[in-house]
Structure 1
């Protein structure tokens, strides 16, 4: 359960950084930020694997670059589910997904060595 909470917090941090850097990604409140992180986690866990499977030819042809489009779509889908979380436009979603991924990767890499100690 603690790992799940840590993942939600890490995703929320990534979303927060995305809202700071991209004008077209907005959250109305901190509570909405947490709900958006939960929604993004659920969308990534439940919908993303099926979408990856269905778009496998495009992913292979683009050498994995199409995964960025899938991540942007998942961010848009999470915004559709959460009232108060707004993502305006494809490129905002694309850059937002990249930011969330980079922040999540960096934060997890900082936390993992501390867990092993």
Structure 2
């Protein structure tokens, strides 16, 4: 899947998250550019900071059989909210929001794949 398609899907997923879950929202008057910027920051944080957090939390993650990854994903969402127009009600809301965001992203990815928009030939 191309970079821009992935970026737009992530922006759509963040927007849908803010519509479905009250714990995560965008600042009033936020435009499309701010939503795409939040998705871009989310991608950068997922690529650079999330692996470090997962590595540092590896012992706890092993003890919890991987469930601590939800906390790491919530921390990533909370961190993105600190530097963008995204608002998160609290850390608990960030954890639940990250779980809902993963579900929305999975559904959008499945839809794009089913429609054949991902560029794969099959």
The TM-score, its normalising length taken from structure 2, stands at: 0.86
C-alpha displacement of 1:24 = 2.9
Matches within 5 A, 1:76-91: 76-82=78-84, 84-91=85-92
C-alpha displacement of 1:76 = 0.7
Structure 1, gaps ≥5 residues long: none
C-alpha displacement of 1:34 = 0.7
Matched, 1:102 2:103: yes
Task: Give the Cα separation in 2 of the matches to 1:21 and 1:41.
Answer: 21
Task: Give the Cα separation in 1 of the matches to 2:102 and 2:63.
Answer: 22
- Runs of 4 or more consecutive aligned structure 1 residues displaced over 3 Å after TM superposition: none
CA gap of 1:66–1:18, structure 2 versus 1, over 3 A, is same
Structure 2 SS opposite 1:26: strand
RMSD between superposed Cα atoms in Å: 1.5
In structure 1, the partner of 2:19 is 20
The TM-score, its normalising length taken from structure 1, stands at: 0.89
**Residues 26 and 86 in structure 1, CA contact (< 8 A), matched pair in contact too:** yes
In structure 2, the partner of 1:72 is 74
Higher helix share: 1
Structure 2, gaps ≥5 residues long: none
Count of residue pairs brought into register by the alignment: 115
Structure 2 SS opposite 1:116: coil
Matched, 1:62 2:64: yes
Task: Give the Cα separation in 2 of the matches to 1:99 and 1:116.
Answer: 30
C-alpha displacement of 1:86 = 1.1
Structure 1 SS opposite 2:66: coil
